[in-house]
């Protein structure tokens, strides 16, 4: 346990000493809240002009998370940098020399970065919710309504899992450019295409972002997903576990 404590402190020192890593977390909060505020305000302004179908499906809680899509970009970068910075600078060699138990090394890195992402994710989710509801006017909701608190907490958990998933992928690939070159198109292009094309929509429903975002929804009218909010969250957790398992397998078998 003493070794674990020392490694945890070491990983915390690494993260807070790299400005680019810390800045990405600040960007995640600002971008998400600002964009959510803007889109919620525009939605409130144009609500009466929306088609009846869209009014029926309107989810004020999920609307306030409109900035999450862009905000998660910063969490992806954070997850990648936490892992791959050591590879790009060559610090991975002394790190593994100091902590030869690679399982402990990866575990401590995930714990510290994951807890930090959780704190930022929760702050972002609650801030985006309250900001969005403040400008939605008569169309707003509150934390006391059924399913709303679950959705807001789920938003924080979603952002946390995005960061941890990125850490797993980055551990497998060991290159920041390669990891970002795969993760960015995956979340912002491939997932969107698969989820919006009728022939591939059922496949897209099982991708980590699309499944995970279900936990942030309160209104499910019109959804054809074969799972509920926590079912989608579980699917995302399985993706994260698979990414971390792959990362550990690579870290354990390959030289630094």
With H, G, I as helix, E, B as strand and everything else as coil, classify residue 13.
Answer: helix
Distance of CA 158 to the CA centre of its chain: 5
Q: Which DSSP symbol is given to 199? A: T
- pLDDT of 202 strictly over 70: yes
Mean pLDDT of 50-65: 89
Tell me the chain's radius of gyration from C-alpha atoms: 19
Provide CB contacts within 8 A for 57, sequence distance 6+.
219, 221, 222
Alpha carbon distance 78, 54 (integer Å): 35
* pLDDT for res 242: 97
Q: Which DSSP symbol is given to 114? A: H
Residue count of the chain, please give it. Answer: 256
pLDDT tens digits, 59-113:
999 999 999 988 999 999 999 999 988 887 778 888 888 888 888 889 999 999 9
* pLDDT for res 49: 85
* pLDDT for res 117: 96
Neighbouring C-beta atoms of residue 140, cutoff 10 Å: 19
pTM of the model: 0.93
* pLDDT for res 245: 96
């Amino acid at each position: 346990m003493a070794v674990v404590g020392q490694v945890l402190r070491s990983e915390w020192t690494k993260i807070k000493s790299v400005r680019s890593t810390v800045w990405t977390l600040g960007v995640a909060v600002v971008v998400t809240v600002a964009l959510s505020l803007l889109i919620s305000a525009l939605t409130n302004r144009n609500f009466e002009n929306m088609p009846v179908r869209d009014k029926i499906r309107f989810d004020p809680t999920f609307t306030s998370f409109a900035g999450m899509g862009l905000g998660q970009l910063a969490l992806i970068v954070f997850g990648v940098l936490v892992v791959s910075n050591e590879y790009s600078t060559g610090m991975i060699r002394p790190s593994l020399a100091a902590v030869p138990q690679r399982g402990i090394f990866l575990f401590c890195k995930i714990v510290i970065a994951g807890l930090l992402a959780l704190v930022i994710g929760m702050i972002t989710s609650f801030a985006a919710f309250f900001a969005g509801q403040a400008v939605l006017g008569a169309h707003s909701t509150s934390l006391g309504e059924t399913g709303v608190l679950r959705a807001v907490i789920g938003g924080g958990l979603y952002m946390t899992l995005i960061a941890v998933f990125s850490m797993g992928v980055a551990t497998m690939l060991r290159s920041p450019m390669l990891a970002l070159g795969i993760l960015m198109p995956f979340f912002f292009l491939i997932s969107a295409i698969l989820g919006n094309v009728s022939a591939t929509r059922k496949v897209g429903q099982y991708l980590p972002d699309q499944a995970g975002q279900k936990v942030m929804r309160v209104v499910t009218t019109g959804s054809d997903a074969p799972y509920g909010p926590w079912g989608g969250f579980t699917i995302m957790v399985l993706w994260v576990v698979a990414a971390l398992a792959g990362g550990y397998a690579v870290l354990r078998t390959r030289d630094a």
